[in-house]
Structure 1
Amino acid sequence: MTLVSRIAGFARDMLQATLFGTGGAMSAFIVAYRIPNFLRRVFAEGSMAMAFVPVLNEIKEKGDKAALKSFVDHMAGALCAVVLVVCGLGMLLAPLVARLFAPGWADQPELLAQTAQMLRITFPYLLFISMMSLAASILNSHGRFGLPAFTPVLHNLTMIAAMLWLAPRFELPPVGLAWGVLVAGFLQLALLWPMLGRFGLRPRLRPGFGHPQVRKVGRLMLPTLFSSSVAQVNLIVGTAFASLLAAGSVDWLYYSDRLVEFPLGLFGVALGTVILPHLSRRHAAEDAAGYSHSLDWALRMALLAGVPAGLGLLLLAEPITATVYNYGQFTPFDTRMAAISLTAMSLGVPAFMLTKVLAPAFFARQDTRTPMRAAIWTVVANVVLTIAITTPLWLQGIPGAHGGIALATALAGIFNAWLLWRALRRAGLYRPQAGWGGFALRLLVACMAMAAVVLALRGWIGDWTTIIGWQHRVGWLGATIAAGAGTYLVAMAACGLRPRHLKH
């Protein structure tokens, strides 16, 4: 389902770039879309889920169905009440929010006004998606992963419909995309909410701020508000800096980030979603050895997917960007600029993927303070690196200064993963299993073989932007990726990796 979602996401991004290109009202939409998306990671998929799932599993383990239902009712009511207030404030203060997140547009009042207009439409999306994520967390805790993983497919299909049907009906077409975001959130919630009835857990909204387990989630959630969304915080910081640079910088960063999100969503998020309830059960059962073993397996899986994914994005940054985006209003210049930031950001993909495993390792133990401390240091590092790398490029007028923002994001992600790994080791919570040396050697050899094949094919094919027709671009890119992936898998097998090594 996650794979289908990412393919639908590619189709959506391709259509969006082709029809709307970069700059102007499209930049305003990207900012208006990113802000509630950032808050979604805070209130929904990130912070709330990381705090909610361990407490839910703890109550589930005791077998008290009445207590479980009471907790779900009060938690749903409390979450709904808080997010309603946030949405109301966001809509009321939309002009101030737009100015805060896009300070570089201070001398472009029309662009800020367009951003505020679309923010008022997209902010209520946060309510729908937060309640949907609560439902998804409950379903995941009951071993139902398929339908929640399908909801992003529904989101992408709704956005495609909005581009084709809604956007042309507005004087400012990106406004139609903003309405598409809102409709997508409603449809995702409508899909999952009835499914909770199968487990007798369809919530009756009772704002239960005094409920002991809800208060416990609140205590756990406060530190995670920051730590579970550190990557999104860094992206928001990057967006603010990009608004100070050349026109189109916000868009180029957005489109390259969307490509990085493909492997992260396909492998990283899926792995983190599965490992969190598993680790929380190990912790609840006081099985320290099983907890460490499960974490070791997840880290190897993250690297097994993350290292070749990051390397592939690095080697094929421009071909991928050209294949997905370089049509219609998205020019070859836009392709080169987006490829610069994709190349820089791809360096952080393995670390981003490791973080999807390392952060849940703490949340499963209901330890939210350690990831919060790591997140604070990471954001500080990101701001310092962004200023240090981007400012000289900007002052010298070097094209592609936004690549400095992407590089800072990648380096900060590596720093965050290292901080979390070190904390686990120091606390004695994680003891590496035998075989890491052989695993690292296999990974190195396989990636070198993959890189040789990919570079040879890329050099032979030449400039992707000169290939006429998306079918030809997709065909050549698919063949190159298939050859690289096949080489990687064959090399791994030749070095001794077997399917039994992947089982947990």
Structure 2
Amino acid sequence: MSLLRNVGTIGGLTMVSRLFGFARDMLLARVLGAGGVADAWQLAFQLPNIFRRLFAEGAFASAFVPLFNRRMTDRDDLSEARRFAEEVLAFLIPVLIVFGALALIAMPWIAGLFANEGIEGDPDLFELAVLMARITFPYLAFMSLATLFAAILNSLSRFAAAAAAPILLNLCMITALIAGMTLGEGIEARRATGELLAIAVTVSGLLQLIWLWIWARKAGFRMRLGRPRITPGVKELGILILPAVFGAGVYQISRFIDLFFLATLPDGAYTFLAMGDRLNQLPLGIIGIALGTAILPALSRHIAGADHEAAQRLQSNAIELAMLLTVPAAVALFVTGSAFTRAFYTGGAFTLSDAMATGAVTSALVVGLPAYVLIKVLVPNYFARKDTRTPVYTALAALVLNVALNFLLVPRLGVVGLALAGSIGAWANVGLLYAILVRKGYFRLTARVAWRIARIALAALLMGAALWFAMPWGTGYYAGGVLERVGSILALVALGGAIYFAFAAVLGVLDRAAIARLMRREG
């Protein structure tokens, strides 16, 4: 299957999940508002999620897929790959049980590290945050196991089931929020809704695990649960995972650092960052995660087969496609972020000033959107070669810069400075990753691709200028009635899309040869 079709499959289903996520967050804003219980919920929800993205989606998947693909010598004989997966599964389960039990015991201390003054200063609110975090934490174990099955399916080029699984999380949370809306108003109703949300998260993890297990069996991959042993394969995976936590998970590590700085900011900062990140995650998930997921198995096979030309072509196509879709999304959200946050979130307990603050955070976050996507596209080139040390060094350098910028920007710009520091750190990581790829001879952008990216950026900037002038026209509609909100946002999207693709066509960014190249079958 071609890169474009693989990305389309993963990205399309991810977009469905993200749209459900928007519906979830719109309800969340109206029911819980910003600050208080809403901040406590965001803290409780982020703790297992950061661990999940850092370990399960980041380190584990990046280390497991190349090792699994190396054992897939024959598509008709998966016995060696199956044996490796069974060894990993048998070892992973007790590790997750022990880690989860320790985390539940230490949860008051963990939550205390990241709680802001509003949560820490209210004993009842802090107790609620700890309770919700404990209820949600088993989600990490379920999703770590689910990621094993997702990695297997992706290696077999069965991308749809894994891409669709997160929809279950949003459906469960939407159900909990609708149930919470029947409890009435007031602090007690909000607390009860928070507990329902925590239960929904853990239930969704179990459902996603069952869903992916069923699809793995349908794909002919049936695994038996054996006795946990540290086999050579498990040991090799463990050696790769430790540095992969840094190399593939820099974004999530920076989120941990963000939590420390958020604890110094006023009430509502957790919610503003979480709501802004939802908009940032839409293109990041649809494009970045889809590209990173799609290219790793094929890139691993090309490199294992010493087909360097195919690996170079696949990497170039991935970067070109990433920039074609991500740069205009970043420019558009930077200019129109406050319009989107006003339209999506204003109402109920979430005020217009809350929406404007969230819009400012969104604009700062999307400065780094293309960089976050490029990280997901470049890092697989290292992991496909089992080079896990280099991403560690680049990640650490970016983290040092991120922390330094936090100290500089957060006291001056608050939560907006926090978002901007992360974006700048991501661009530094991209520069280091690419420079080292060039120096080691792993990959180099051709002049043709570089010139095409420059034209993509020009088309996006022209679109951004048009949106800048058009934005004030809809000021009275962004937070109006339902039809006014929908109409004003659709008008912005249509205007931006039309201008971008018109300039892209004029500048020669979109042509038949480029589309044919991206449609070429890859591995």
Q: TM-score range by the shorter chain?
A: over 0.9
Aligned residue-pair number? 496
Correspondence for 2:455: 442
Amino acid at match of 1:44: A
Asked if 1:387 corresponds to 2:387, the answer is no
Correspondence for 2:6: none
Take 1:360 and 1:65, find their aligned partners in 2: how far apart are those partners? 23
Asked if 1:121 corresponds to 2:135, the answer is yes
Correspondence for 2:439: 426
> Which residue of the other structure, out of 83, 88, 91, is the alignment partner of 2:96?
83
Q: CA deviation at 1:62?
A: 5.2
- Alignment partner of 1:46: what SS? helix
Question: Deviation per CA, 1:293-313, whole angstroms, max 9, x where unpaired?
Answer: 211111111111121111111
> Which residue of the other structure, out of 425, 428, 433, is the alignment partner of 1:415?
428
Asked if 1:318 corresponds to 2:338, the answer is yes
> Which residue of the other structure, out of 49, 67, 70, is the alignment partner of 2:61?
49
Correspondence for 1:405: 418
Amino acid at match of 2:407: I
Which moved further from structure 2: 489-498 or 160-169? 160-169
- Alignment partner of 1:435: what SS? helix
Asked if 1:488 corresponds to 2:508, the answer is no
Take 1:236 and 1:470, find their aligned partners in 2: how far apart are those partners? 36
- Alignment partner of 1:302: what SS? helix
Q: CA deviation at 1:193?
A: 0.5
- Alignment partner of 2:165: what SS? helix
Amino acid at match of 1:401: G
Question: Deviation per CA, 1:134-193, whole angstroms, max 9, x where unpaired?
Answer: 111111111111111111112111110011125756751211111111111111111111
Q: 1:43 to 1:202 in 2, by over 3 A?
A: farther
Question: Deviation per CA, 1:6-49, whole angstroms, max 9, x where unpaired?
Answer: 11111111111111111112111111111100111123111110
Correspondence for 2:163: 149
Q: CA deviation at 1:59?
A: 0.2
Q: CA deviation at 1:407?
A: 0.8
Question: Deviation per CA, 1:177-216, whole angstroms, max 9, x where unpaired?
Answer: 1111111111111111122123442322235442221211
Correspondence for 1:461: 474
Q: CA deviation at 1:492?
A: 0.8
Q: CA deviation at 1:103?
A: 5.7
Take 1:137 and 1:165, find their aligned partners in 2: how far apart are those partners? 34
Q: CA deviation at 1:436?
A: 3.0
Take 1:186 and 1:431, find their aligned partners in 2: how far apart are those partners? 43
Identity %: 36
Asked if 1:334 corresponds to 2:354, the answer is yes
Q: CA deviation at 1:127?
A: 1.0
> Which residue of the other structure, out of 475, 498, 502, is the alignment partner of 2:511?
498
Take 2:182 and 2:135, find their aligned partners in 1: how far apart are those partners? 17
2:116/2:262 contact within 8 Å kept: no
Q: 1:66 to 1:327 in 2, by over 3 A?
A: same
Take 2:181 and 2:245, find their aligned partners in 1: how far apart are those partners? 34
Take 2:229 and 2:495, find their aligned partners in 1: how far apart are those partners? 55
Take 2:78 and 2:453, find their aligned partners in 1: how far apart are those partners? 46
2:303/2:311 contact within 8 Å kept: yes
- Alignment partner of 1:316: what SS? helix
- Alignment partner of 2:72: what SS? helix
Take 2:326 and 2:352, find their aligned partners in 1: how far apart are those partners? 28
- Alignment partner of 1:245: what SS? coil
CA RMSD of aligned residues (A): 1.7
2:248/2:376 contact within 8 Å kept: no
Matches within 5 A, 1:256-267: 256-267=276-287
Which moved further from structure 2: 173-182 or 95-104? 95-104
> Which residue of the other structure, out of 298, 321, 325, is the alignment partner of 1:305?
325
Matches within 5 A, 1:97-116: 97-102=110-115, 104=117, 105-116=119-130
Q: CA deviation at 1:463?
A: 4.6
Which moved further from structure 2: 431-440 or 53-62? 431-440
- Alignment partner of 2:399: what SS? helix
- Alignment partner of 2:73: what SS? helix
- Alignment partner of 1:353: what SS? helix
Structure 2 unaligned runs (5+)? 1-12
Q: 1:226 to 1:109 in 2, by over 3 A?
A: farther
Q: CA deviation at 1:315?
A: 0.4
- Alignment partner of 1:127: what SS? helix
Take 2:172 and 2:327, find their aligned partners in 1: how far apart are those partners? 32
1:76/1:207 contact within 8 Å kept: no
> Which residue of the other structure, out of 441, 455, 473, is the alignment partner of 2:485?
473
Structure 1 unaligned runs (5+)? 394-399
Take 1:486 and 1:176, find their aligned partners in 2: how far apart are those partners? 43
TM-score when scaled to structure 2? 0.91
Which is bigger in relative contact order (C-alpha 8 A, separation at least 6)?
A: 2
1:454/1:481 contact within 8 Å kept: no
Asked if 1:356 corresponds to 2:358, the answer is no
Take 1:225 and 1:118, find their aligned partners in 2: how far apart are those partners? 26
Take 2:144 and 2:457, find their aligned partners in 1: how far apart are those partners? 40
- Alignment partner of 1:210: what SS? coil
Q: CA deviation at 1:343?
A: 1.2
Take 2:401 and 2:100, find their aligned partners in 1: how far apart are those partners? 30
Amino acid at match of 1:83: L
Question: Deviation per CA, 1:276-331, whole angstroms, max 9, x where unpaired?
Answer: 11111111111122212211111111111121111111000100111111111110
Take 2:43 and 2:62, find their aligned partners in 1: how far apart are those partners? 26
2:116/2:265 contact within 8 Å kept: no
Take 1:121 and 1:207, find their aligned partners in 2: how far apart are those partners? 29
- Alignment partner of 2:313: what SS? helix
Q: 1:10 to 1:381 in 2, by over 3 A?
A: same
Correspondence for 1:396: none
Q: CA deviation at 1:108?
A: 3.5
Correspondence for 1:140: 154
Which moved further from structure 2: 159-168 or 52-61? 159-168
Question: Deviation per CA, 1:439-498, whole angstroms, max 9, x where unpaired?
Answer: 134213311331233223212222555x42133212211121121012111211111221
Take 2:63 and 2:41, find their aligned partners in 1: how far apart are those partners? 31
Take 1:445 and 1:373, find their aligned partners in 2: how far apart are those partners? 32
Take 1:12 and 1:499, find their aligned partners in 2: how far apart are those partners? 39
Take 1:268 and 1:438, find their aligned partners in 2: how far apart are those partners? 21
1:194/1:202 contact within 8 Å kept: no
Which moved further from structure 2: 287-296 or 431-440? 431-440
Take 1:472 and 1:464, find their aligned partners in 2: how far apart are those partners? 5
Which moved further from structure 2: 176-185 or 209-218? 209-218
Take 1:437 and 1:428, find their aligned partners in 2: how far apart are those partners? 17
